[in-house]
Amino acid sequence: MIAIFHKKAESSTRYSQRGATLIEVLISLLLITIGLLGIAASQITSLKMTLSSYQRSQATVFANDIADRLRANIKEAEEPDSKYLSAMPNGVDHGTDCVSYTGALTSNCSIEKMAEQDVFDWAQRLRNEFNGEGIICRDNSPNDGTAAAASGCDNLAASPLVIKVWWDDDRDPNTDNFLFSTSLQL
Ligand SMILES: [Ca+2]
Ligand SMILES: [Ca+2]
């Protein structure tokens, strides 16, 4: 009798030891899962920040692009009623009169038409390559505005020339677009 009782007690201990091991394994799996989810979340955050910083550098490239175009057509850019300002926000497509980057301009391309074409080309590229929009205007407080149609530009003759570029940083149409603005030294 004693021997049998002893055997039963031993078996019960072994069983409870196996149970504890299973719980330990489950807890370990849970901890590993939580850890992996944490790593995944930080990876996603890091990817978002990388994309955000890439888009910001793209906005700078687009701003530099139109700044270079204004410098190349400085006589028109410096006019008080420059077409760079009045043709906003989408410019005017002058067909082949002022084809950019492809050799000599035709005699039909005036500096005013060139400005309108520059703005047109710029707006197209911003929309197609960046899903964004931009404006050239005069503004003494350039860090405002939510879109080309609500640019926050004061358009006063004494205000500096600025370039503003907006884009949807978080791909959420319900949040404001990001703005990059820079004042323009001609
Ligand atoms: Ca303003
Ligand atoms: Ca948004």
Residues 12-23 have pLDDT tens digits of: 555 555 667 889
How much is the pTM? 0.76
pLDDT of residue 1: 47
Which residues are found with C-beta within 5 Å of the ion, ligand 2? 168, 170, 172, 175
pLDDT given at position 127: 94
**Dihedral sign from CA coordinates of 111, 113, 115, 118:** negative
DSSP tag of 138: E
- The ligand with the least distance to the CA atom of 143 is 1
Tokens of 145: 């505005």
Averaged pLDDT in 10-residue chunks for the chain of 186 residues: 50 57 92 96 94 94 96 93 88 81 67 94 94 95 94 94 94 91 89
Looking at all shown ligands, the one closest to residue 174's CA atom is 2
Residue 102, SS3 per DSSP: coil
117 close to 100: Cβ distance less than 8 angstroms: yes
Count of domains for the chain:
1
Domain assignment of residue 106, given as a range:
2-183
Ligand 2 center to 165 CA (angstroms): 14
Q: Which ligand is nearest to the CA of 152?
A: 1
The confidence score (pLDDT) of residue 65 equals 96
